[in-house]
Amino acid sequence: MIIRKEYKFYAAHRNEELADKCRNLHGHRYGVVCHFEVERKGSISTLFGDFDAKVAPLLKTQYDHALLINIEDPLYRTLVDHCERTGETLRLKRFTRPTSVENLAFILFGEITELGFRLHQLEIRETDSSVCVYTREDWVSDNRHFANKDNELLQIEAVS
């Protein structure tokens, strides 16, 4: 059985890899639709509020009004310097790769799984017309893909 729950957060980001408008810092109202796999326990499965009690604080504290930023993006260093110089604290959600909606889906799928839920699918709406539908199979495949990439990097670092 699937329970679908909808959440949202507002965040800024840019995609430094793309040579178009997405390279500029800009904001989105990200819509997050979680499809949870659940099992019936009597008349209900998992209480709706049990999802909210864990997922909403994750989004509120780490993503809402944050800047999603790749730590490999040169802008990240500038922001860290700014914070060190001024003592200001900025809410930065650090990625280890560009902040595409596909990479956001990969990270969020893992974080929500760590909260103890079994996701079947995650939908992330970035704009009015664009939604990333990210399945458990995508997550398994991305975990393999990124593990291989990280191993490649470690091997390159080891021989250089």
Ligand X SMILES: Nc1nc2c(c(=O)[nH]1)N=C([C@H](O)[C@H](O)COP(=O)(O)OP(=O)(O)OP(=O)(O)O)CN2
Measured from the CB atom, is 13 or 36 closer to ligand X?
A: 13
Measured from the CB atom, is 106 or 117 closer to ligand X?
A: 106
Name 67's bridge partners.
Answer: 12, 92
What does the longest C-alpha to C-alpha distance in the chain come to? 60
Of 35-43, 59-67, 80-88, 127-135: span binding ligand X (CB under 6 A): 127-135
Measured from the CB atom, is 50 or 126 closer to ligand X?
A: 126
Q: Per CB under 6 A, does 101 bind ligand X?
A: yes
Signed CA dihedral, 110, 111, 114, 120: sign only: negative
What span, in angstroms and rounded, lies between the C-alpha atoms of 124 and 105?
7
Instruction: Count the residues of the shown chain that bind ligand X, applying the rule CB under 6 A.
Output: 11
Token pair 């930065």 in the structure block, residue: 92
**Identified binder of ligand X from the candidate list 16, 37, 64, 126, rule CB under 6 A:** 126
Taking the complex as a whole, the smallest distance from the CB of residue 87 to ligand X amounts, in Å, to 31
Angle at 144 between CA 139 and CA 150, to 5 degrees: 120
> What residues line the site for ligand X (CB under 6 A)?
15, 22, 26, 100-102, 126-130
